[in-house]
Structure 1
Amino acid sequence: MSKPATLATLDPRQGAAADPESHVWLGASAGTGKTQVLSARVLRLMLGGVSPEAILCITFTKAGAAEMAHRIHERLAAWVRMDDGDLRLDLRALGLEWDQPGLMARARSLFATVIDSPGGAIRVQTIHSFCQTLLASFPLEAKLLPGFRAIEEDEAEALKRAVLGALLSPSSSEEGFGVVDAGVGHHPAATRPSFAEPSLAAPPLKRRGGETGLNDAAAMLSRRLGPDAALAFLSRCAAAFGGPRALLPPAAHDLRAAFDLPAGDADAWVREQVAAGAIADADIKAVAASGAAWGTKTGLACSDVMVGWLMGDPDARAAMLGELIACFVTGKGELRADFAGDKGKMQDCLDEATRIVEAAQTMLGTATAMRVADELAAAWKLGSRFAEAYALAKREAGLADFDDLISLAGALLRVSQFGEWVRFKLDQRTDHILVDEAQDTNMRQWGIVLSLAEEFFAGAGAKDERIRTLFTVGDRKQAIFGFQGTDPGAFADAKTLFKLLAGETPNPLQEVDLVSNYRSTPAVLQVADAWLEAGGTGLMGLDGDEPPHRPFRDAQAGQVELWAPLPVGKALDAEAEDAGEEESGDSTAPASDPASMRLARAIADEVRDWTLNGKDGRPVAPGDIMILVRRRRDLAARIVARLQALHVPVAGVDRFALTQPLAVQDLMAAMRFAVQPLDDLNLAALLVSPLIGWTQDELYERTHKRGRAAIWEHLRGTEGDVPAAAMEALRHLLGMADFTTPFRFLETVLSGPIDARRKLYARLGREARDPIDELLNQALAFETRETVSLLGFLTAVSGSGADIKRQTEARSDVVRVMTVHGSKGLQAPIVILADATDDAAIGHRPFRVDVAGWEKLPVFALPADERHGAIAEAYQKEALAAAQEHWRLFYVAMTRAEEILVVAGVTKKPDRSIPETSWHAAVEDVLSGMGSEWEEAGPMWGRRRVHRANAGKWARREKAARAAPPPLVPPAWAHAPAPEEARPPRPLAPSALGEDDVAVPPQGTARVAAVTRGLLLHALFERLPPVAAEKRRAAALRWLGAQAPALDDAARAAMVDEVLAVLDDPAHAALFGPGSLAEVPLSAVVDGGLVVAGIVDRLLVTGDAVTVIDYKTGRQVPDGAADVAPAYLRQMAAYRDALGVIFPGRLVEAALLYTAGPRLILLDDDILVANKPALIATKANLPPAGLEPGPPTA
């Protein structure tokens, strides 16, 4: 075993932050060692005597929680086996003096302390995990069903579809919708919601009884957004209008009033404005005269429109507003040159034209805003009803989604009548709270943290002798999860609040900033600092300045490269098309797109060259490279596919739809064939998949002459011409159709005779592993919550639109391709920003609006010509926030690089220009300002700018070439299914070795009474020995009175007398003393492989002997051992042999205690050995192994 490495010494700022007695708000820029500080603080807390269960660490992601827990447990385990010298170094690195009394011994014992603590680990949880644990502890107080279950995104989406279908079904009225039936609780995630189909031709919104109908609103949403986006909008409504503090949405008239819009019909309002002279006829006449005077085609056309306006009635004029505006304004919204500029032929009527345009645009804009307000009100009404139905469905099924975990936990702690009690219970357990990635915590989550920590600063909590602390760490520059409600403002507000709370205590909040960067080389940090100094901080929406980074690796080489944007024309060249045809693998790549195809090809080719030849004198391994994209579009999938085609080891994309990878499609094709063998298209896909392995030519040759017959019928009819292996595999699939679960079916296909796992890996690469494993996980999960069937599983998987997240390792030996969001917490020596030429515009996206009395209500995506007034202002506010996050994302992307940062992209403009708000443009400005010039970069990219520092002093050196190890050839059994294990023999229960053949057992009611009497006597012998002798009679009578009320007093007294006669006998004192055991289960394998299992009535174990006692409560008491029934002797012989195996080397004595005597009969060895043959004979009469695998009886 290798020697554990010692800890790196904390620098002064890190040491101050790790002080376990201070409240600390830590600002940690990228690469400054925040995880090390977190781990050090936890270690110092435990070294100071804090119990593990008193520490709560909250982080943002499961991966982050796992990483932190792993670091802490790994260090504690290392301390157990570390020599004294290294342990002293570790303690010193943490800022402790190792010679403190007992410190080293405590360090070595902490691992065991953690393992023995409740849960067996440090409490390192995501905020959602913590909330789930909290709600599970107080379900009724939180108005949840005990044993509720948290659901993942795919199951939540399936439930939403079922709820929406029920809400919009004909049987669901607007007055009392309800969830239709129990089907919501057992949602099969069937297909897209039914409201989507008719919506494509749905009529405009209709009024029903003064309010918009739910189905009309659903049709409008589907027509505007499509079914998937419509469901996403309703999900946002569920978050806005659901939860413990749900509010009804504003009605249409409230919304119009809030937006300062007129009441009534929009078209009628426009006609009224036109009739009232909103556009002056004098202005129209002036323009008409100017156009006629110009005399050209353009001037006369404009004049004709003006004349048509003057001749029209209000209805006609209202219909002409768009045409009127088009006379004056270009498609870009600018005033036509005919009216503006020195050379405009109609500039004499510029003022009139301006007034006409402003009036017409105001009327159309207001009318549009009125319609949008009505549609929004209708959509919010549907969203509110959907929120209510969705909440009801979850409550009835005992489910909770991620939003529920946060909202219900917050309400439980702050709003409910049980809040103080719950906080008190938590306060008794938690003394130290550590919050990681604090900038990614939204205000609702901060409310939970406040509920947990505020007692640290107030009342008895602040004055308690216990040291209780709050520690938070974050970086406002890395707040990139705005879509989850986070922003730097929440981070700053939380700091202000906790600083205010701690300021009134003797232990104020300490603000510490980490500035020493241990990750990146000077070249990368110089570019980042130059950008921040040039205005990057303001672009990110942050106040004040950021301190510059201090590179710890100040002598190591690094560089930042800006590749000239790749030009993309209307079509790819032939070489690019050929490259695209070659791309395969775990393909999640969509259809060809010229821009993404060419960019992916260029980046992949460059990466392959680096791995073969190095880069600028630095050897490069695939695991050194991380490729980042801004959005999860087709570019990432194209890069992965191209790298696979070039045989460069690469991880798949970090997030994918489960049904997208080819490996999953092939396995689902096998399952579909088992369910429906006559589906020709599916069977054709299966035959050419790796599972069967035909080529397209072979498929055509063997099936094209089938006429009208199905492919499967044709193959069976021409079986002599079809490979036997293929027919055997297909019949194997059909044979499992009605007899296996989805998981067993898939695992058999993967590991059984078809050997699909090996075939898929060989064709698609190891990247197919994650999708296959996830499909198996989904099959297992499906079996736990649904009626098991292959068809049901196929329907559920096909209908699920949820994405699967691939867990990316911090270090691996493959190229990693992911989004910038997914790269949070990761790093790599070489980072490529692949799509850095995209701008910051949010485009046609949903946003939120504040209405009087309501905050952050969801608004569906609206084109620019439908955004007016308050809606336009809300959009601009959201666009600004998105642009600021765009630049914070840029900072995160830059700082993933350790040594080399490469910035690339494409442009479709002939002059190769790019948007000014792109990352590419920002880096070009910085590099230009630093004196970097364009230089040649080969035929693919043409040229590049490079900023270098410490050229040639790379941190890594090329390793000496070593002979490749011989290939490992797995043995044949590694690819074969494991043989079925032999079943053990049925256990022998000694108490069931046969009836007593000496006396005829009682029959009927007498037998029931005898059995009841025996059970009661056994229970008294089990319960009375610990009771003081003088209290036994009263205790026994009370117990019998409660357990056997049908017995009369005399019967109960007689039974108690019988038991006490045994217990009070001095001869039996040891058997019922403190060291004896009652009702002891035992099992052992005795001579000949016989398994003995049973429960003995009384067991006394001493240092050199074991005594086993069995009670006999019958009325007939034998005179001695020779008169004991043979069945009892066989029973005791079995117990004796089993105890001899369990306690080797000790004397085993067996005895029967007849309570009616009372008489204790000791069974000597000779009698028990004499009954051994009968015991062996009993074994011969047991069923063979495997025939009766049921549980043993005792």
Structure 2
Amino acid sequence: AGSGKTELLIQRYLGLLATVNEPEEIVAITFTRKAAAEMRERVLEAFARVVAGRERGSEHERRTHELARAALARDSARGWRISDSPARLRIQTIDSLCAALTRQMPMLSKFGSQPESIEDAGALYAAAARATIELIDSKDPAAGHVERLLAHLDNNVERVEELLVEMLRRRDHWLRHVMVKQRADLEGALATERRAALARVRERVPPSARSELFELAGYSLGNLGKPAPAAMPGEDDADGWKSFADVLLTKDDAWRARVNVTQGYPAGEGAAGKAAAKAWKERLARLIATLAGERLGNALADIRRLPPPAYSDAQWQVLEAITELLKCAVAQLKLVFQSRGQVDFTEVSQRALLALGDAGGPTDLALRLDYQIRHLLIDEFQDTSISQFELVAQLTAGWTPDDGRTLFAVGDPMQSIYRFREAEVGLFLKARAEGIGSVVLEPLELSANLRSQAGMVDWVNHAFAQVMPEHEDIASGAVAFTESRAVHPRLEADAVEIHPLFAGGEASEAAEVANIAAGVAAAGVKSEKRESVAILVRGRNHLREIVPQLKQAGLAFRAIEIDRLDDRPVVQDLLALTRALAHRGDRLAWIAILRAPWCGLTLAELHALAGTDAPSPRSRPKVSIPLEGKVPVGRGEGRGRGEGFGQHAARSPSGVPMQRDARPAREGQHAADALPEPISSQSTLWELMHDPVRLAALGADARLRLARVRPVLAAALSQRQRSSLRDAVEGTWLALGGPACAASETDLEDAESYLDHLESKEEAGAIADFEAFEQSLDQLYALPDMAAGEDAVQIMTIHKAKGLEFDHVIVPGLGKTPPADGKKLFLWMERPAKPDASSSRTGESGTNLLLAPIEETGAERDPVYAWIKKLAAEQAAFEDARLLYVAATRAKQRLHLLGETRIEARDGAQAARKPDARSLLAKLWPVVADEFQRAAATATAASTNEGGVGDTVPDQSLRRLASAWSMPKPPPALAWTAAGETARAQDEIEYSWVGETARHVGSVVHRWLQRIAEDELQGWSAARIEAMQDVFRNELAARGVERTQLAAAAERVAKALANALADPRGRWLLGPQQGARNEYRITAVIDGERRNLVMDRSFTDENAKRWIVDYKASGHEGTNVEGFLDQEQERYRAQLERYAQALAQGDASMLGLYFPLLAGWREWGA
């Protein structure tokens, strides 16, 4: 960590640019769009520094500068003009590479026209799972398999569907296994696994202790009336080794501290018998002291849980049913993909592999790529999945030694923490040891730590040598620790501080975190240094108490992808409004909008309006209705709702005063739950709002509030079918005063994010499935606090922090345990196969495959399933150690580690109890145990009591707009007199030659370039462009682009905008400029005729020259980009010169054409 791996990759890229004929011969692959954009930006920045003559000081920065200089020299010699056309740099995600491959060979990939690639395909998996289960009513052979599986799982259809969905989500891991394996192969793998476990335990028993163990075990077994072994057990004697394990280990697999008659060590009778018995026990105690160790203890424990050497007939029947059914589920999924025109990224990867063929029969596409790609670079290679690894192998299949082609992969296996995204660190280890396909790799290890001070580096070296395994193992994902070397000097204070906590609860830990952060902030103010602080957590729920404590301490913070968007009050309000406008009978949604701060009825007023009216039975939507003064903690029947409506500020960002009514309420209660049971009627809330009898029962204030919102809602309902759902919701929200209820500018940004998402999901002005919509909304995160400055405390998960660095890092919650993994339909595990003279059967590529079906509902534990689950738990434990390593190595100066455990009485004194084995603290225990024990010995009652430390009291007041609030008056209209319309005089260039889709792409690109320029680049980044893909798709669809072309068109829009943001010329054009105008409309008399003209962008530069720039969304697939740009300049020359003639401001006008898709530029004087 911190060794400059990405910088090395960029240096490699720059170095290769100086050797190739065309930049497209180099392909650099990353795993996220953000990483690809950052890498491209760093390459262009290196070029810009060379052009500007800005050389930096450090050795590696000077090296980058020299390589960039050589690359630019090659650029000039070959006429690439990369600075003007950065799109020629093939720096892309592996998903975009796969999509490009399938587009090039639609027949071979069997895609035909390119479908839309979506990130969240849960609805498609569910549709395929349901279709598979419904085969039970058909004559399909799969009907019997469905019936057998349902019987196995107690006819729980919902559970079977959930299990199928999860398996389809990860099908690239298991699909190849269910296609070819036979029972004999799988049972051979079980036998191999048993022999390997027995060999491990025999190997780990020291030869010097074997005879003593044999005698002691024989003595024990003889006393228990069991047959004693005739010799030491061999590698096939599982029962013999199990009897030895029972002598040495307790039921909990701990080494025995004492033995008695139950273990075959009686007390003895008479003095001689007791002396002899004592001698036997002492011999056993000495033997255990000799043998005791984690490696042998684990090996003996494994013997007790060995899988059987073969499947029972019942097991095999279920396994066969599952594997056959999964094949059907995959087939059904392909039908769903085809019918909906959408696919997931796994499907794109699999079709890309299909388009490439295999090593024995490469396709034309593979042969063409083999000719085009001369250098392949891969970043974060430790996070490669199986299908991605296979893609790399296919791309390099035709490579031979000394043919000039190179593969360069960068990664750190100690930072592989993405198993949940199908990353397999064993692939990195395998590639390092064996290469990839026919390509032999030369391992190069980076040892210098360019990030952290020497004290941090020394602590990490000392600690993680104990935390991480000594030896690496491809099968289990064990990665051995490698030390690093410090470059920066040691600082005075201790680099790492351990904060032991004992049963003080989350509030105690949160208070300690706030104290640490406040101390760092105070020290920074005193020293006038701006030092970064980050709080890193394993799971987002660990922040439940920390965030309120930071607020109470007055610390500004930015939570990065922590708060879910639908936990924000403003989004809850908008969701309720969306449901209410979509269905007048959605009772909870209507109650919620009357409870929202723009109306703000009290519970008593809601009761008077609707408390005696029975709702028609329907499912409860996920809408939280706040009580007076209490944050709602539930949503429907799900998890908590975050800060809730109770956090609305007394004054909105626009300065509108808001009224407070303080009324206590029961903690955590929903308003819907607080209402009394209704007794009759089926009226909608909209009807009840017009009932004079019910209105008469309300107070004057409530009637005034309803009178204000009723006309707005009436207009929205009457016009509902005349606009999109997004426009209806947004317009109604504005008219109700929603923005005036926002607590901060961030709330307004969150509202815009919700509306953009709503627009991306609506079809024909409606949401077809609100449950699916809310599930998709649940995947989005709220923006961090927009008002927090750069020195604010950063809060994020450890996974999100990977690749980042901070001066001070605080890691709380080390004592917490993650939730247990749910059961899968079947478990599988690939294990390396060793040559076996007794059997010729091994799995593909030298591996054995272990498979086990899910356990039958209510039945005893399946030993094969349990064994594979144990192996998976070992892999997870190794990854937990790597996760801890990633957290620790983010720190540049100081690291604070907080963990909680219990205090127990031990030998008459207080001692710290060993933490739960699944916690990160357990992984770190060998390093911090002594410090915890010292703290436990002196801990007082105050430090061990639950809660009470820094508890925060929520604001118990209902915040709402004043009852007499009204919409602010709009600004006065511009004084403008329209001239008589004439025919449009602008000589537009016809778009017919490029097709309708290209024309619509150009329109959307123009619109968003205008928006970016109006924002002067503020808030715009590659990540934001990436997140707006759905918005682009919707806008293109509204303009008439066919569904089959939407994905490619939206990607083209995103690429154009991202290129403009990454391009120095684009940033200059779109950034702050004097007298800037966008979509500048003027009317002028040219050649005796009045003409209406529209200029994309006009501004005055630092040299007082007036620029007129037009954007062109044209693309070019050929190699002669410069010739194409020259043609385009001539095509549009007359048009821009007319603009200059019309503007006629006396300045020497400069004219420019900007091509964002190509990052191309042409300029000339007027």
Which category describes the TM-score, using the shorter chain as reference length? 0.5 to 0.7
Post-superposition offset of 1:142: 0.9
Could you list the per-position Cα deviations for residues 587-635 of structure 1 after superposition, in whole angstroms to 9, with x for gaps in the alignment?
xxxxxxxx5x4366435543563366448977897x8332223245x22
Q: Quick check: 1:748 aligned with 2:731? A: yes
The whole-number CA distance in structure 2 between the counterparts of 1:65 and 1:842 is 34
> Which residue in 2 is equivalent to 1:583?
none
- CA distance change for structure 1 residues 690 and 1143 in 2, over 3 Å: closer, same or farther? closer
Residue 126 of structure 2 contacts residue 161 of structure 2 at CA under 8 Å; is this kept in 1?
A: no
The whole-number CA distance in structure 2 between the counterparts of 1:333 and 1:980 is 87
What SS does structure 1 have at the residue aligned with 2:445? strand
Could you list the per-position Cα deviations for residues 959-982 of structure 1 after superposition, in whole angstroms to 9, with x for gaps in the alignment?
xxxxxxxxxxxxx99999999999
- Trace 1:772-787 onto structure 2 (pairs within 5 A): 772-783=751-762, 787=763
Q: Quick check: 1:880 aligned with 2:881? A: no
1:726 corresponds, among 688, 709, 715, to 709
What SS does structure 1 have at the residue aligned with 2:795? strand
Percent of aligned positions that are identical:
22
Could you list the per-position Cα deviations for residues 205-244 of structure 1 after superposition, in whole angstroms to 9, with x for gaps in the alignment?
xxx86x55277269658479586455314544x44565xx
Q: Quick check: 1:136 aligned with 2:103? A: yes
- CA distance change for structure 1 residues 421 and 535 in 2, over 3 Å: closer, same or farther? same
Instruction: For CA contacts below 8 A with separation 6 or more, give which structure has more relative contact order.
Output: 2
Could you list the per-position Cα deviations for residues 749-799 of structure 1 after superposition, in whole angstroms to 9, with x for gaps in the alignment?
55x33343452344xx72x5675454334333324xxx3233426353135
> Which residue in 2 is equivalent to 1:815?
793
Q: Quick check: 1:213 aligned with 2:147? A: yes
Amino acid of the structure 1 residue aligned with 2:757: Q
Post-superposition offset of 1:562: 1.4
Post-superposition offset of 1:249: 7.7
Residue 136 of structure 1 contacts residue 148 of structure 1 at CA under 8 Å; is this kept in 2?
A: no
Residue 141 of structure 1 contacts residue 418 of structure 1 at CA under 8 Å; is this kept in 2?
A: no
Amino acid of the structure 1 residue aligned with 2:687: E
1:899 corresponds, among 887, 893, 910, to 893
Residue 157 of structure 1 contacts residue 800 of structure 1 at CA under 8 Å; is this kept in 2?
A: no
- CA distance change for structure 1 residues 250 and 772 in 2, over 3 Å: closer, same or farther? farther
The whole-number CA distance in structure 2 between the counterparts of 1:878 and 1:862 is 20
> Which residue in 2 is equivalent to 1:1058?
none
What SS does structure 2 have at the residue aligned with 1:141? helix
Post-superposition offset of 1:482: 2.6
1:496 corresponds, among 430, 433, 444, to 433
2:342 corresponds, among 399, 418, 431, to 399
The whole-number CA distance in structure 1 between the counterparts of 2:782 and 2:704 is 40
Post-superposition offset of 1:391: 1.6
Amino acid of the structure 1 residue aligned with 2:899: G
Post-superposition offset of 1:495: 2.5
Bigger mean CA deviation after superposition, 684-693 or 523-532: 684-693
- CA distance change for structure 1 residues 113 and 816 in 2, over 3 Å: closer, same or farther? same
- CA distance change for structure 1 residues 532 and 1138 in 2, over 3 Å: closer, same or farther? closer
Residue 446 of structure 1 contacts residue 494 of structure 1 at CA under 8 Å; is this kept in 2?
A: no
What SS does structure 2 have at the residue aligned with 1:114? coil
- CA distance change for structure 1 residues 521 and 863 in 2, over 3 Å: closer, same or farther? farther
> Which residue in 2 is equivalent to 1:712?
686
Residue 31 of structure 1 contacts residue 517 of structure 1 at CA under 8 Å; is this kept in 2?
A: yes
2:770 corresponds, among 794, 808, 818, to 794
Q: Quick check: 1:598 aligned with 2:541? A: no
- CA distance change for structure 1 residues 517 and 826 in 2, over 3 Å: closer, same or farther? same
> Which residue in 2 is equivalent to 1:1159?
none
Post-superposition offset of 1:103: 7.8
Residue 568 of structure 2 contacts residue 782 of structure 2 at CA under 8 Å; is this kept in 1?
A: no
The whole-number CA distance in structure 2 between the counterparts of 1:861 and 1:616 is 60
> Which residue in 1 is equivalent to 2:542?
635
- CA distance change for structure 1 residues 747 and 224 in 2, over 3 Å: closer, same or farther? closer
> Which residue in 1 is equivalent to 2:406?
469
- CA distance change for structure 1 residues 337 and 687 in 2, over 3 Å: closer, same or farther? farther
- CA distance change for structure 1 residues 691 and 1090 in 2, over 3 Å: closer, same or farther? same
Residue 625 of structure 1 contacts residue 830 of structure 1 at CA under 8 Å; is this kept in 2?
A: yes
- CA distance change for structure 1 residues 638 and 341 in 2, over 3 Å: closer, same or farther? farther
Amino acid of the structure 2 residue aligned with 1:385: C
> Which residue in 2 is equivalent to 1:913?
913
Amino acid of the structure 1 residue aligned with 2:914: I
1:848 corresponds, among 812, 824, 828, to 828
1:70 corresponds, among 12, 30, 41, to 41
What SS does structure 1 have at the residue aligned with 2:735? coil
Q: Quick check: 1:688 aligned with 2:584? A: no
Q: Quick check: 1:127 aligned with 2:94? A: yes
The whole-number CA distance in structure 1 between the counterparts of 2:136 and 2:111 is 28
Amino acid of the structure 2 residue aligned with 1:164: A
> Which residue in 1 is equivalent to 2:486?
550
Q: Quick check: 1:988 aligned with 2:993? A: no
What SS does structure 1 have at the residue aligned with 2:461? helix
Amino acid of the structure 2 residue aligned with 1:790: A
- CA distance change for structure 1 residues 599 and 712 in 2, over 3 Å: closer, same or farther? farther
Residue 3 of structure 2 contacts residue 450 of structure 2 at CA under 8 Å; is this kept in 1?
A: yes
1:384 corresponds, among 327, 334, 344, to 327
2:123 corresponds, among 158, 167, 170, to 158
Could you list the per-position Cα deviations for residues 382-419 of structure 1 after superposition, in whole angstroms to 9, with x for gaps in the alignment?
32211110022213443321111222222322439973
Amino acid of the structure 2 residue aligned with 1:683: W
Residue 518 of structure 1 contacts residue 553 of structure 1 at CA under 8 Å; is this kept in 2?
A: no
Residue 782 of structure 1 contacts residue 788 of structure 1 at CA under 8 Å; is this kept in 2?
A: no
The whole-number CA distance in structure 2 between the counterparts of 1:609 and 1:72 is 38
The whole-number CA distance in structure 2 between the counterparts of 1:367 and 1:446 is 32
Residue 167 of structure 1 contacts residue 386 of structure 1 at CA under 8 Å; is this kept in 2?
A: yes
Residue 460 of structure 2 contacts residue 888 of structure 2 at CA under 8 Å; is this kept in 1?
A: yes
The whole-number CA distance in structure 2 between the counterparts of 1:625 and 1:478 is 21
The whole-number CA distance in structure 2 between the counterparts of 1:132 and 1:889 is 31
The whole-number CA distance in structure 2 between the counterparts of 1:736 and 1:123 is 49
What SS does structure 2 have at the residue aligned with 1:382? helix
The whole-number CA distance in structure 2 between the counterparts of 1:1084 and 1:538 is 79
Residue 515 of structure 1 contacts residue 549 of structure 1 at CA under 8 Å; is this kept in 2?
A: yes
> Which residue in 2 is equivalent to 1:532?
464
Amino acid of the structure 2 residue aligned with 1:639: I
Could you list the per-position Cα deviations for residues 1040-1064 of structure 1 after superposition, in whole angstroms to 9, with x for gaps in the alignment?
xxxxxxxxxxxxxxxxxxxxxxxxx
The whole-number CA distance in structure 1 between the counterparts of 2:35 and 2:87 is 19
- Trace 1:2-17 onto structure 2 (pairs within 5 A): none
Post-superposition offset of 1:161: 1.5
- CA distance change for structure 1 residues 343 and 1140 in 2, over 3 Å: closer, same or farther? closer
- CA distance change for structure 1 residues 124 and 682 in 2, over 3 Å: closer, same or farther? same
- CA distance change for structure 1 residues 739 and 923 in 2, over 3 Å: closer, same or farther? same
Residue 562 of structure 2 contacts residue 782 of structure 2 at CA under 8 Å; is this kept in 1?
A: yes
What SS does structure 1 have at the residue aligned with 2:498? strand
Bigger mean CA deviation after superposition, 653-662 or 611-620: 611-620
What SS does structure 1 have at the residue aligned with 2:581? helix
> Which residue in 2 is equivalent to 1:41?
12
Count, aligned residues: 793
2:780 corresponds, among 804, 809, 831, to 804
* Two-structure CA RMSD over aligned residues (Å): 5.5
- CA distance change for structure 1 residues 913 and 1143 in 2, over 3 Å: closer, same or farther? closer
- CA distance change for structure 1 residues 806 and 899 in 2, over 3 Å: closer, same or farther? farther
> Which residue in 1 is equivalent to 2:501?
565
The whole-number CA distance in structure 2 between the counterparts of 1:974 and 1:501 is 73
Post-superposition offset of 1:828: 2.0
The whole-number CA distance in structure 2 between the counterparts of 1:484 and 1:980 is 58
Post-superposition offset of 1:669: 0.3
The whole-number CA distance in structure 2 between the counterparts of 1:746 and 1:113 is 47
Q: TM-score under structure 1 normalisation? A: 0.57
Residue 251 of structure 1 contacts residue 377 of structure 1 at CA under 8 Å; is this kept in 2?
A: no
Post-superposition offset of 1:496: 3.5
1:168 corresponds, among 113, 130, 133, to 133
Q: TM-score under structure 2 normalisation? A: 0.58
Post-superposition offset of 1:158: 0.7
Residue 522 of structure 1 contacts residue 554 of structure 1 at CA under 8 Å; is this kept in 2?
A: yes
- CA distance change for structure 1 residues 163 and 840 in 2, over 3 Å: closer, same or farther? closer
- CA distance change for structure 1 residues 437 and 382 in 2, over 3 Å: closer, same or farther? same
Post-superposition offset of 1:880: 1.7
Amino acid of the structure 1 residue aligned with 2:94: I
